[in-house]
Amino acid sequence: MNRNYLSIKTIVAIGIGAALFMILAKFASIPSPIPNTSIQTSYAFLALMAAVFGPIAGGLIGFIGHALNDAISYGSVWWSWVIVSLFVGATIGLFAKRINIEAGGFTVKKVITFNVIQAVAQGIGWFLIAPALDILIYAEPANKVFAQGVFAGLSNIVTVGVLGTILLFAYAKTRSQSNSLHKEL
Amino acid sequence: MAVEMLSYIEKNTAVHRLTGVTKLLCFILWSTAAMLTYDTRILIFLFLMSIWIFIVSKIEIKEVSFVLIFIFIFLLLNNVAIYGFSPQEGVKIYGTSHVLFEIAGRYNVTLEQIFYQFNITLKYFTVAPVALLFIVTTHPSEFAASLNKIGISYRISYAVSLALRYIPDVQRDFRNIALAQQARGLDMSNKEKLPKRVKNAASIIIPLILSSLDKIETISNAMELRGFGKNKKRTWYSSRPFQKSDYLVLTCFILILAASLIITFHDGNRFYNPFQ
């Protein structure tokens, strides 16, 4: 059985996660001081889900959630950026064991690990993969797509760094710490 | 906060009667064709054909107009951005330069640039109607069944189906929490300073996420109890058998993809060049 890599819980997490990702992308973006841009809270959520449920869930939540949001609100899917969401979710998920949020306790060391991972994953995704795919698929001018990529990347890295860390803290608080039991003497 | 979303529109037309699998495969074939080609002749042909399919499906413009407005705004911004960043892209691609008039510095208007941006816009227009149609003529639960039929594991298909099923629920939860927090004086608009706004957003998002995580627990227990994932295969309530028209339509779309690829790449270039 495929139990190991795709448990029922992971399947449900992908489904609900994708729905939540979509709603956050659509409704819960915070207007920022720069005109026409907003802070995408959905990526902070994606980072949390990836850290809790692992790479497959992370990648698929990004992929399905982003594709659904594009399809339902714009009528067509911008595949190059959807693939970046898949990549970001999967990469953060790969290090889920490292962050080990289920064991409770989100220490300073874990905060740093999480932020390094998310910054690197998003950096590769938004600065390299997104523009490259844009040029390949849509033949758009290189400097335009790189400017877009750098901008989206920086704002998402900062968002996940701040909001994602807050979310992980809040989640860790709801878990009981792995060493919280002690023998009564 | 009542933002409209595209959803299934019930009608009885030839397009609606096609099985979800056919529509999904056609959508994939169509997107591939439109994505790979930059040949203006093919794009125009695909565009006209997509309009024809749109008419056959009897979907009215006003039913999808809010999305069309989005698409127009997006295309306008995109075109402005492309010109702003790279006014000579067309010249680079087509290798000639027919200047219409100069503006300033490298910003002049060339026929090549206009033609290039026309192509980009057209490319978007060939995909958009078909994607729209696919969404509004395919029932969500049939969509999941179709994903499974074209070879995607039924576990992942089921996840997609769950996502579609729970979007309205999550949206309602989000609205309730947001309204409750706003009633307590939380401000998410431009009036609040940015750090405060982020903190306020967090106090809406955190309860939403935690309640959704509880939901995951409940649903996965329910599925476990009903023996989900016990067998290698799974049947779908809403999947339908193939009809003659399905085979016919699929054959047509495969031919279109093949023809467009041959015409696009037979001279070794994605772009159709009228300037030589």
Instruction: Say if the Cβ atoms of B155 and A6 lie within 8 Å.
Output: yes
Instruction: Say if the Cβ atoms of A74 and B70 lie within 8 Å.
Output: yes
pTM of the model: 0.85
Instruction: Say if the Cβ atoms of A137 and B35 lie within 8 Å.
Output: yes
In chain B, pLDDT over 70 holds for what percent of residues?
98
A182 assigned to some structural domain: no
Instruction: Say if the Cβ atoms of B70 and A28 lie within 8 Å.
Output: no
Residues B260, B228 share a domain:
no
In chain B, pLDDT over 90 holds for what percent of residues?
15
Nearest residue in chain A measured CA to CA from B117: A140
pLDDT band for position B242 (cuts 50, 70, 90): confident
Domain count of the fold of chain B: 2
Residues B77, B34 share a domain:
yes
ipTM of the complex as predicted: 0.83
Residue B259 sits in which domain range?
18-139+239-276
A37 assigned to some structural domain: yes
Nearest residue in chain A measured CA to CA from B270: A139
Which one of A2, A5, A9, A16 would you mutate to disrupt binding with B, by most B Cβ within 10 Å of its Cβ?
Answer: A16
The verdict on A102 touching B (C-beta cutoff 8 Å) is no
Residues of B in contact with A131 (CB under 8 A): none
* Interstrand relation of A38-39 and B99-104 (parallel, antiparallel or unpaired): unpaired
Confidence at residue A28, expressed as pLDDT on a 0 to 100 scale: 76
Which one of B85, B86, B161, B165 would you mutate to disrupt binding with A, by most A Cβ within 10 Å of its Cβ?
Answer: B85
Confidence at residue A40, expressed as pLDDT on a 0 to 100 scale: 82
A179 assigned to some structural domain: no
Which one of B132, B220, B226 would you mutate to disrupt binding with A, by most A Cβ within 10 Å of its Cβ?
Answer: B220
Confidence at residue B86, expressed as pLDDT on a 0 to 100 scale: 83
Nearest residue in chain A measured CA to CA from B69: A74
Q: Is the pLDDT of residue A3 over 50?
A: no
Phi, psi of A120 (to 5 degrees): -65, -45
Domain count of the fold of chain A: 1
Residues B128, B22 share a domain:
yes
Residues B98, B232 share a domain:
no
Instruction: Say if the Cβ atoms of B67 and A15 lie within 8 Å.
Output: no
Confidence at residue A21, expressed as pLDDT on a 0 to 100 scale: 93
Confidence at residue B249, expressed as pLDDT on a 0 to 100 scale: 92
d(CA A65, CA B213): 16
Confidence at residue A122, expressed as pLDDT on a 0 to 100 scale: 92
Residues B183, B135 share a domain:
no
Residues B128, B248 share a domain:
yes
SS3 for A31? strand
Closest-CA distance of chain A to residue B190, Å: 7
Instruction: Say if the Cβ atoms of A11 and B165 lie within 8 Å.
Output: no
Mean pLDDT over B183-196 rounds to 79
CA nearest neighbour of A18 among A89, A78, A73 = A89
Instruction: Say if the Cβ atoms of A68 and B163 lie within 8 Å.
Output: yes
Nearest residue in chain B measured CA to CA from A63: B160
Mean pLDDT over B12-27 rounds to 88
Query: In this complex, how many residue pairs, one in chain A and one in chain B, have their CB atoms less than 8 Å apart?
Result: 189
* Interstrand relation of B99-104 and B107-110 (parallel, antiparallel or unpaired): antiparallel
Enter the tokens of residue A147. Answer: 């400017």
| Residue the block writes with tokens 């002049």 | B108
Residues B103, B214 share a domain:
no
B24 assigned to some structural domain: yes
Residues B25, B120 share a domain:
yes
B148 assigned to some structural domain: no
B10 assigned to some structural domain: no
Confidence at residue A2, expressed as pLDDT on a 0 to 100 scale: 45
Q: What is the mean pLDDT of chain A?
A: 84
Which one of A1, A7, A8, A34 would you mutate to disrupt binding with B, by most B Cβ within 10 Å of its Cβ?
Answer: A8
Residues of A in contact with B162 (CB under 8 A): 11-12, 14-16, 19
Residue A56 sits in which domain range?
2-174
Confidence at residue A66, expressed as pLDDT on a 0 to 100 scale: 92
DSSP code string of B117-131: HHHHHHHHHHHHHHH
Residues of B in contact with A68 (CB under 8 A): 163-164, 167
Residues B42, B102 share a domain:
yes
**Count of CB atoms situated within 10 Å of the CB of A183:** 4
Mean pLDDT over B227-251 rounds to 87
Residues B192, B176 share a domain:
yes
The verdict on A103 touching B (C-beta cutoff 8 Å) is no
A166 assigned to some structural domain: yes
pLDDT band for position A106 (cuts 50, 70, 90): confident
A185 assigned to some structural domain: no
A55 assigned to some structural domain: yes
Confidence at residue B225, expressed as pLDDT on a 0 to 100 scale: 93
CATH number of the domain encompassing residue A170: 1.10.1760.20
Q: Comparing A115-124, B10-19, B71-80, B183-192, which segment has the lowest mean pLDDT?
A: B183-192
A102 assigned to some structural domain: yes
Residues B52, B123 share a domain:
yes
Q: Comparing A36-40, A46-50, A145-149, B203-207, which segment has the lowest mean pLDDT?
A: A36-40
A180 assigned to some structural domain: no
Q: Is the pLDDT of residue A126 over 80?
A: yes
Mean pLDDT over A41-49 rounds to 91
Contact A15, B159 (CB under 8 A): yes
Contact B143, B137 (CB under 8 A): no
Residues B120, B70 share a domain:
yes
More confident of the two residues A103 and A165: A165
Residues of A in contact with B64 (CB under 8 A): 75
Q: Identify the sign of the CA torsion A169, A54, B157, B247.
A: positive
Closest-CA distance of chain A to residue B244, Å: 29
